[in-house]
Amino acid sequence: MDRMRSSERPKLPEVEVNAQAESLVLGSATLQSPVVHMQFKPTEIVLKSWQADLLGGSAKGTGHFAWNGAKPEYTFEGGFTRVDAAALGSLLNATWAGGPVSGGGNLKLSGLSAKELAASASGELSFDWLHGALSMAPGASAEAHPQETKFDDWKGKVSIQDGKAQIGQSVLILGKHSSNMTGVIPFGGPIKLTVAPSGDKLATRAGVPASPPAVK
């Protein structure tokens, strides 16, 4: 895509295409067995449906591609189910474990290079993670053992903008207690999450000290 720098916008044939592959590499993520149903129009491509295996789970949705001014613009909507928590954490350079992660949302990008795409990314995402654990990265703490925050369920919303994913409304549930999780996931940078427990009992059970820690 970075080579498509021309003053003349490509004119596409009107045709519908079904495409599939063994794998498709998108940055640091790899889609396994992707299948896409595309409708080509003279100035746009409509992804009528797409699906693939992703990080031990699956993902599917729709999308759209068109030129907007001097740059191509992409929009995607979809959902993911039963993504492996450890694999997702590894993708984000974090130590995560536990049950599956599911969710969905929308994403909009524009540009021809990886840098342009990352900088332009915007969207909203909701997620639900069952029986998980978040640990600080090795060497991030002076303690002999990494800090760990466990939960029965963590669900919330993420806003993507300005080269980062900002965790908004988010609730951790452990037993009969709940706490708030906030933080930011910069693209290419370390994850910074903070747990604000609703009570000392939850803090003790979750392995979180009274003062909210930074979890990476």
pLDDT block averages, 10 residues each, the chain of length 216:
54 86 85 94 91 96 88 93 94 89 95 82 95 68 62 94 87 90 80 68 36 40
Residue 202 located in a structural domain? yes
Q: Domain total for the chain?
A: 1
According to the model, what pLDDT value does residue 51 have? Answer: 97
Single pTM value for the model: 0.75
Residues spanned by the domain of 176: 15-215
Q: What is the pLDDT of residue 42?
A: 83
In a domain, 97, yes or no: yes
Q: How much of the chain is helix, strand and coil, in % rounded to 5?
A: 10, 60, 30
List the Cα angle 121/72/80 in 5-degree steps: 45
Considering the domain boundaries, does residue 8 fall inside one? no
In the chain, the largest separation of any two C-alpha atoms, in whole Å, equals: 64
- How far is it, in rounded angstroms, from Cα 177 to Cα 138? 28
Give me the pLDDT at residue 142, please. 40
**pLDDT attached to residue 17:** 92
Does residue 175 belong to any structural domain of this protein? yes
Assigned domain for 9 exists: no
CA distance 6 to 65: 17
What is the CB-side half-sphere exposure of residue 28 using CA atoms within 13 A? 10
- DSSP SS3 for 114: helix
Per-residue pLDDT, 10: 63
Question: Looking at this protein, which amino acid is placed at residue 154?
Answer: W
Instruction: Give the pLDDT confidence score for residue 157 in this predicted structure.
Output: 94
Instruction: Identify the burial level of 171 via C-beta atoms within 10 angstroms of its C-beta, where 0-12 means exposed, 13-18 middle and 19 or more buried.
Output: middle
Residue 6 within a domain: no
Q: What is the pLDDT of residue 22?
A: 94
Supply φ then ψ for residue 206, to 5 degrees. -85, -5
Q: Report if residue 132 sits inside a domain.
A: yes
pLDDT score of 6: 53
pLDDT given at position 168 = 84
Residue 68: inside a domain, yes or no?
Answer: yes
